[in-house]
Structures are given as C-alpha cells and as structure tokens.
Amino acid sequence: MELYFLGTGAGMPARHRNVTSIVLNLLPERGTIWLFDCGEGTQHQILRSPVKLSKSEKMFITHLHGDHLFGLPGLLSSRSYQGGDTPFVIYGPKGLKAFVDTSLGLSQVHLDYELVVHEIEEDGVVFEDANFRVEAASLEHRIECFGYRIIEKDLPGKLQLDKLRELGVTAGPLYGRLKQGHTVLLEDGRELKGDQFVGPSIKGRIVTILGDTKPCSNSSLLAADADVLVHEATFGAERADLADAYDHSTTEQAALTAKEAGVKTLIMTHISSRYQGEGAEQLVQEARAHHADSWLAEDFWSYTVPRK
C-alpha cells in the first residue's frame, strides 16, 4: 500500500505543483490502483510517473471545484486508449454524474469499459468487500465536500509451519485448511485444530484522505487512529485569517487534527503556490511543532504505508 502524489497544489496549476490528484497504490493487495481527485492535467502527470492508468479501478472525488475535477473527462477517455477495459467506478458529491455525462456526451467520447458513477447522499460506508471498507463523511468547505477513510481489514495470521513439521505434517492441502481455521483429521487418527497453528491476525492499515476543509469534527472522526492522514494545508500559520475566509486549513490546524486524532503520520498537501523553497520548509516546521511525524507532499513523491 503506497500513496503517490500526482498533484499537490491549490487553486490552479503552478510550475512546481500541479493541482490535486492522489493515487493509492493497491497493486500488491488487489492488483489495482485507486485515485483521489482529478485536477486539470492529471493524465499528463500520469505520463510522467510510474502509474498505469489501465490498472485503475476506482476514483474518489472529494468535491466539485475545478482543481479537483477538471482532469476527469480526459482521464476517462485516455483510460480506454491505455488498455483499461475493466469496470471503473467514481464516487463523489451530487452533481458528479451530470458533469461526467455532459462532458463525455458533448464530446462524443466512446468508452471501452463500464463506467459507474456513485453519488454520495449521506455520510457512511460507500464501498466494502472482503478486504477493504471505505467510509465518507462531509467536511466544512464552501461547497459540498467529503473526506474518505480507507480501512484495510485484518489479515489472517501466519501458519506456524515449524509446529506442524515437528508433528510430522508435511506441506499439502491440509495446510490450507488449517490456515482457514478448520479442524483436520490425520491418517493416523490425530485431530488438529487450525486455531492452534495460526498466529495472531495481522492488523489492517487505515489511510484517511480529506478534501478541502476548515477544521471540523468529521476530520477527526475520519482520521481517528489512522496510519496516515492526508490533510490540506493551503496556508501557513501566519495566514489563518485567509484559511478561515476561504474554508481551508493551515499547517498548524492540520497538525493539531492529526495529534488529537492519534494519527501516526501526517502528510500535508494542497499547498498555495506562494510557498516555495524556504517557505515550504517553514510549513513543515510549523506542523512538526505540534505533530512530529509530519511531511509536506510534492508532485511525484510517494509514501509507503507501513504495517503496525
């Protein structure tokens, strides 16, 4: 599980930061990638990255401001040309389907895959299968905006091979049944219970990705005990007045949310173009004064989410 940042800027593209788009690389876990937001130029950023659009499975849109959305029609079209023929699902606020249908319809785009648009009507679970659950909750921004909590479900513990070998049980179909917790009967009459040969379950990871927001209670709820929190930090601490006026957050506010929620690692993104060089380093120091494990994302930067 890896986060890869295609765009980390705020408002409009800049030379050193494109607008928002994040990839959650789940190739080892499910053979696919998920995308979060799709600002203008996202498909161009993908061309400069190791990301394979044909491996994309889902897109989660936080809100319908252009710097999070305007790259979507081009990306959907390019996915067909780049070998994407599996179903693709987009999640986001009300109005997303009208935007997609209108832009693709007027430009007469033909897709070689099934496209599903799921508009979020209320806070709660928006996706769940045997391995992952994704929860969405509304944030405080100028328009309807969501944050997402991605929960990897716990994995079964490792089969304790040494114990089985000591009992003379060799590799074979019995190993699989024991790992699943079943009770098996050996040819010599011995009975082995699976739960006695499987180690403790492996704790799943939690990644929280928020859209644009000022500090609010749902940010903390979504981020509770997360391994990684991706939080906007459009402004430095000295511009708290601007952050409040435009429903954004400062570095300090992002760090305090991470601290209060018990987050392990904070990654700040959606950075105003006014912060470059020493100014960007100052943002990191402001956050680390409240939450030590804080980082400032840059375009084409990645972070591997460790297991606890």
210/226 Cα distance (integer angstroms): 12
At 168 the pLDDT is 82
Residue 185 identity: L
- Which CATH architecture describes the domain 2-155+267-304? 4-Layer Sandwich (3.60)
Which secondary structure element, helix H or strand E, spans residue 138, and what is its range? strand 132-138
Q: Is 270 annotated as a binding residue?
A: yes
Q: Is 291 annotated as a binding residue?
A: no
Instruction: Give the global pTM.
Output: 0.90
Which of 37, 67, 227, 299 is labelled catalytic?
67
3-state secondary structure of 307: coil
Helices 251-261 and 278-288, packing angle to 10 deg? 30
247 counts as catalytic: no
The pLDDT tens digits for 91-117 are: 999 999 999 999 999 999 999 999 999
The pLDDT tens digits for 152-211 are: 999 888 888 888 888 888 777 878 788 777 888 888 888 888 788 788 888 999 999 999
Give the dihedral of Cα atoms 43, 47, 52, 56; nearest 10 deg. -10
At 195 the pLDDT is 81
At 140 the pLDDT is 97
Q: What is the separation of C-alpha 189 from the centre of its chain, rounded to a whole number of angstroms?
A: 49
Q: Is 16 annotated as a binding residue?
A: no
- Where in the chain is CATH 3.60.15.10? 2-155+267-304
Q: Is 65 annotated as a binding residue?
A: yes
Cα first-last separation, the chain: 13
* Residue 182 near residue 223 (C-beta atoms within 8 A): no
Half-sphere exposure of 210 (CA within 13 A, CB side): 35
DSSP string for residues in 37-51: ---TTHHHHHHTSS-
**Over the chain, what is the mean pLDDT?**
94
Q: Is 290 annotated as a binding residue?
A: no
Rounded to 5 degrees, what are φ and ψ at 304? -85, 130
At 125 the pLDDT is 98
* Residue 113 near residue 107 (C-beta atoms within 8 A): no
Q: Is 248 annotated as a binding residue?
A: no
3-state secondary structure of 296: strand
Q: What is the separation of C-alpha 161 from the centre of its chain, rounded to a whole number of angstroms?
A: 35
Residue 230 identity: V
Q: Is 231 annotated as a binding residue?
A: no
86/77 Cα distance (integer angstroms): 14
Ordered per-residue pLDDT tens for the chain, 308 residues = 999 999 999 999 999 999 999 999 999 999 999 999 999 999 999 999 999 999 999 999 999 999 999 999 999 999 988 889 999 999 999 999 999 999 999 999 999 999 999 999 999 999 999 999 999 999 999 999 999 999 999 988 888 888 888 888 877 787 878 877 788 888 888 888 878 878 888 899 999 999 999 999 999 999 999 999 999 999 999 999 999 999 999 999 999 999 999 999 999 999 999 998 889 999 999 999 999 999 999 999 999 999 97
